[in-house]
C-alpha cells in the first residue's frame, strides 16, 4: 500500500484549520495524513528537513500577507498549496510566481483542496477555478509566457538534463526545478492549452516562441566543456 501524503496546515483561525483537517480525514482513500497544524511558520523554520510533503498555507497570518515567505518554504523542500480568502488576481499571481504549486480559495476548498495536495505531492499541475480566473485576468505582457527562470529550467530539461542536473546548473534545488515545470504546465492548462507530457510542453513552448527549435541540442556537462576547450599549452598554439 502506498504511503499517504503528509501535510501540514498553517492557519491562524482554529475553526478553519479544523475544517481543513476534517476534509482530510473524510477522504475515502485516506490518501493524505495530517502531521502538523500551526498558526504561524515558526515550526516549519525550526526543523532542518521538511516535516511534511505539502504545506497548506493560509496567505494571511496575524493580519499580514506571507506570500514573500513562499520561496523559502519551496527552497526548504516543501510543496506549497495556498489556501486563502483573497481573490485579487494580483495576489493569486504573486503567490504562484513565488513558487506555490496551486491556489485554492476558501470558497472552493472542500471540492479542491485534497486534490490540489495530491497533485502537488506528485508534481502534477492542478488548476482551480480561482487560479484559472486570475491567470486569464492577468494583464502582464505575453501571458502565458514564462519567466526567465522557468524558461531556463525548461530549456535545460528539454536538452536532456535530469531535474537534479538542472538544479545544479542553475544553483537551485531540484524541488524548485519541479515547481518551475509544474507552473509552466499550469499556465498553459489555464488557457485551455494543456501540456501533460514533456513533448506536449515542448510543443507549446516552441509554438509560443519561448523556446527556439535550434536551442534543443544535447547539453554538455561543465566537465565535458572544459575538456573540449583548447589549452593554451597545446601543440600548435
Tell me if 224 is assigned to some domain.
Answer: no
- Inform me whether the pLDDT recorded for 54 exceeds 70: yes
Among 137, 165, 185, the domain boundary falls at: 137
Among 116, 137, 158, the domain boundary falls at: 137
Tell me if 117 is assigned to some domain.
Answer: yes
Cα-Cα-Cα-Cα torsion 175, 181, 183, 187, nearest 10 degrees, comes to: 180
**Inter-residue contact 106 to 87 (CB < 8 Å):** no
35-39, 63-67, 193-197 — which is least confidently predicted?
193-197
Residue 122 shares a structural domain with residue 210:
no
Residue 16 shares a structural domain with residue 129:
yes
Return d(Cα 135, Cα 221) in angstroms, integer.
36
17-21, 57-61, 129-133 — which is least confidently predicted?
129-133
User: How far from 192 is each of 1, 62, 78, 202, CA to CA, in Å?
Assistant: 35, 37, 28, 16
pLDDT of residue 138: 63
Q: The domain that contains 41 carries what CATH number? A: 3.40.50.2300
- Inform me whether the pLDDT recorded for 209 exceeds 70: yes
Tell me if 119 is assigned to some domain.
Answer: yes
Residue 130 shares a structural domain with residue 153:
no
Question: What is the gyration radius of the CA atoms in the chain, in angstroms?
Answer: 20
What confidence category does residue 232 fall into, taking pLDDT thresholds of 50, 70 and 90?
A: very low
Among 110, 137, 164, the domain boundary falls at: 137
pLDDT tens track for 110-155: 888 999 999 888 877 778 888 888 877 765 544 566 788 899 999 9
Residue 43 shares a structural domain with residue 132:
yes
Residue 121 shares a structural domain with residue 166:
no
pLDDT of residue 142: 45
Residue 85 shares a structural domain with residue 113:
yes
pLDDT tens track for 155-177: 999 888 999 999 999 999 998 89
Question: By residue range, what is the domain housing residue 170?
Answer: 148-219
Return d(Cα 195, Cα 232) in angstroms, integer.
47
Amino acid at each position: 500500500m502506498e504511503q499517504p501524503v503528509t501535510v501540514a496546515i498553517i492557519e491562524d483561525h482554529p475553526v478553519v484549520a479544523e475544517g481543513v483537517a476534517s476534509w482530510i480525514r473524510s477522504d475515502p482513500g485516506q490518501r493524505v495524513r495530517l502531521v502538523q497544524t500551526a498558526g504561524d511558520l515558526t515550526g516549519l523554520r525550526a526543523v532542518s528537513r521538511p516535516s511534511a510533503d505539502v504545506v497548506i498555507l493560509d496567505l494571511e497570518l496575524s493580519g499580514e500577507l506571507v506570500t514573500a515567505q513562499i520561496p523559502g518554504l519551496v527552497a526548504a523542500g516543501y510543496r506549497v498549496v495556498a489556501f486563502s480568502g483573497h481573490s485579487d488576481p494580483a495576489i493569486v499571481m504573486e503567490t504562484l510566481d513565488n513558487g506555490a504549486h496551486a491556489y485554492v480559495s476558501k470558497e472552493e476548498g472542500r471540492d479542491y483542496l485534497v486534490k490540489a495536495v495530491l497533485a502537488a505531492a506528485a508534481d502534477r499541475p492542478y488548476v482551480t477555478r480561482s487560479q484559472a480566473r486570475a491567470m486569464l485576468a492577468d494583464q502582464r505582457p505575453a501571458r502565458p509566457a514564462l519567466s526567465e527562470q522557468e524558461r531556463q529550467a525548461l530549456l535545460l530539461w528539454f536538452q536532456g538534463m535530469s531535474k537534479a542536473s538542472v538544479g545544479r546548473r542553475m544553483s537551485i534545488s531540484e524541488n524548485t526545478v519541479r515547481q518551475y515545470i509544474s507552473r509552466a504546465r499550469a499556465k498553459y492548462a489555464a488557457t485551455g492549452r494543456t501540456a501533460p507530457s514533456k513533448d506536449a510542453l515542448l510543443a507549446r513552448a516552441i509554438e509560443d516562441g519561448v523556446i527556439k527549435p535550434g536551442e534543443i541540442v544535447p547539453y554538455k556537462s561543465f566537465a565535458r566543456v572544459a575538456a573540449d576547450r583548447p589549452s593554451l599549452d597545446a601543440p600548435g598554439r
